[in-house]
Amino acid sequence: MSENEEGTRTNGSRDTGSTDPGERGDDSRSVATSRPDTDGGETRPKVGDSRPAPAGGDGGRRPQIGDSRPAPDARPSGDGANGNKERNQSGDGDAGSGAGRGRRRRRGGRGRGQGGERQNQQRGEQQGGGGRGRQRGGNRPVEAVTDDAPVELDEETLRSRRGRERRGKPIGRYTMCVSVSGGITQIAVFEGRQLIEHYLSRPADDVTEIHGNVYLAKVQNVLPGMEAAFVDIGTPKNAVIYRGDLQYDDKDFESKGRPRIEQVLRARQTILAQVTKNPIAHKGARLTQEVSLPGRFVVLVPNSTTYGISKRLPESERKRLRNILDRVKPNQHGIIVRTAAENITKEEIERDVRRLLNQWEEIEKLAERSQAPSLLYREPEMAFRFIREEFNKDFRGVIIDDPDMFERVRTYVESVNPALVDRISYHDPETESLPLFERHHVHEQLRKALDRKVWLPSGGSLIIEHTEALTVVDVNTGKNVGRSSLEETVFRNNLEAAEELARQLRLRDIGGIIVIDFVDMEVRSNREAVATTLRDALARDKTRTQVFDISDLGLVEMTRKRIGEGLLESFANACADCGGRGVHLDDELLAGSGRAGRR
């Protein structure tokens, strides 16, 4: 299962919690292309390095950071070679009319100038069902609808969905705090009082935070030797698409086996593609041609035979959902039903499907009148994605310190999860004595998470070091002198280290290859117990990880899917003096060494 699925995930996350890549809970798709788990760009050739200069002179001005518009002005496209033509013509949307349509509202110039523009949004339209706004919207990218009016639910249904309370207060393991300031949104997720995840995003940024976005893209050049192609999506860096993420019609290729990438793609060809991975550092975004549009209860996979219902749901529930879908699923499109659909009414699911169908139709129509490269669909900003994917009654609350964001999130939750809308609350900076993040000790915990040294409860420590290719974690016993034998002390220390390490990887959002040097253990069963503890602790991390067996030198190698750029990179810049190497060369001595040699 695969990268495709990732298109349905938020930026900040989220596989289904399994550390075993072969066993992914959330869907049961049969058509996904499988790929070894060592992908994720980490073990792939770094094609991003050799990217040729983008071809110029094809008319459209290339967008720049800071542009007030997302994409070049689209003119009627004269672009002939068109890999996505067929896709464009298919969506007749038999179930696509109806609910939700009229409620759509456009966001004028959404947030790109940071600040004021949000005020322009026409909030009043929610109940109105007025014009569709496409005319007004021109060639603005399609956005997910987050402000549908709530579905009417009877009191019993609502009651069954409410979270648990104790003495009138909501209870739950998790809390989420959203802090907005200076064009930056930060999300802190707590388990109890402990910070377990942190995300930072610049919603105005259509350059770095593009996971899930759909583009009309232009192939720049195809690299048969890499089984990849560079594709212009209008961002400063070209995106990359690998052969396994292409879609093509088998009929077009007579030879046996899968066609080679150069048979499917040609330079200057226009394709429709979705970002499955944000650009990180020097690497461009990664694309797939299999688009998937995530809703709250289902994921729509346009022009696909995909059909799946989360296997984590009981059989009776799967049956009920299948019945509902038989009526609303359009023939030419695929659907994945998420675990969140459990006990959700037929009306709500139908509406989710229709909403996504409308979205897809709009994307196709926009594609027809756009010229590559251009942004066709933009994922909602991080707070919405997080709530869409994660928010449930295990959250005792979501606290937001920005009035506008609070209103919009509340409206969204009212529409998709009305029983929990009371758990969304506003932290008013005017009346509260402490800023939101200070009250929850976020900064304090973040500082610790940025340190290279992490103390363990018994006095040992972890040292976390980053290199270009991998992250290295050194485990020390330090002040931990234990009580019984050396082996026992080391073993206990390593167990603590394994637990803490899993927490740190998640909080620091460290991805790629990670090598852990545990303190040497003599007893084989102890070594195994440490590896098991690490695996178990990592299972709570929803980002996919894989732990390999302990090596001859006592090293544990593991991978963690790379999602964001990492906490450290979000908050730090490389030292200008040493370029991040951490040492300063003694120029005087170096200059003198030549003379010294002559003596």
| Span 88-127, contacts to Zn ion by CB under 5 A | none
> From CA 253, how far away is CA 62, in angstroms rounded?
34
With binding defined as CB under 5 A, does residue 577 bind Zn ion?
yes
Spatial neighbors of 69 by CB under 8 A, at least 6 apart, are 63, 109, 112
Task: Pick from 327, 578, 586, 593 the residue near Zn ion by CB under 5 A.
Answer: 578
Q: Which is nearer to Zn ion, 155 or 577 (CB)?
A: 577
Q: Which stretch binds Zn ion (CB under 5 A): 304-312, 345-353, 551-559, 578-586?
A: 578-586
Residue 142 CB, shortest distance to Zn ion, in Å, is: 45
Contacts of residue 592, defined as CB under 8 A and 6 or more positions apart, other chains included, come to: none
Residue whose CB is less far from Zn ion, 128 or 582: 582
**251 C-beta neighbours (distance < 10 Å), count:** 6
Give me the residues paired with residue 284 across strands. Answer: none
CB of 574 to Zn ion, least distance (A): 8
Phi, psi (rounded to 5 degrees) for 563: -110, -70
Residue 155 binds Zn ion (CB under 5 A): no
Distance, in Å, from the CA atom of 507 to the CA atom of 196, rounded to the nearest integer, reads 5
What values do phi and psi take at 127, rounded to 5? -90, -15
Part in contact with Zn ion (CB under 5 A); list of ranges 184-192, 434-442, 557-565, 570-578: 570-578
481 in contact with Zn ion (CB under 5 A): no
Stretch that binds Zn ion, among 67-75, 152-160, 193-201, 571-579 (CB under 5 A): 571-579
Contacts of 477 (CB under 8 A, 6+ apart): 459, 460, 489, 490, 493, 519
- Please give the structure tokens belonging to residue 246: 């292409």
Stretch that binds Zn ion, among 245-253, 287-295, 403-411, 568-576 (CB under 5 A): 568-576
| DSSP codes, 200-216 | EE-TT-TTT--TT-EEE
* Cβ neighbours for 106, distance < 8 A, ≥ 6 positions apart: 133, 136, 137, 140, 143
Asked if 174 and 191 count as a contact pair (C-beta separation under 8 A), the reply is yes
State in angstroms the smallest separation of the CB of 577 from Zn ion: 4
Place of tokens 């980053």: 466
**Residue 548 or 571 having the CB closest to Zn ion:** 571
Nearer to Zn ion, 469 or 578 (CB): 578
* 3-state SS class at 513: strand
How many binding residues for Zn ion (CB under 5 A)?
3
**In the bound complex, what is the minimum distance in angstroms from residue 572's beta carbon to Zn ion?**
12
Tokens linked to 549: 């067996």
Of 229-237, 335-343, 424-432, 567-575, the window that binds Zn ion (rule: CB under 5 A) is 567-575
List the x/- string, 521-560, binding to Zn ion by CB under 5 A: ----------------------------------------
Residue from the set 65, 469, 523, 575 that interacts with Zn ion by CB under 5 A? 575
Q: How deeply is 477 buried, as exposed, middle or buried, from its count of CB atoms within 10 A (0-12, 13-18, 19+)?
A: buried
Q: Which is nearer to Zn ion, 347 or 586 (CB)?
A: 586
In 10 A of CB 136, how many CB atoms? 12
- Between 36 and 579, name the residue whose CB sits nearer to Zn ion: 579
Span near Zn ion by CB under 5 A; candidates 63-71, 140-148, 436-444, 569-577: 569-577
Contact residues: Zn ion, CB under 5 A: 575, 577-578
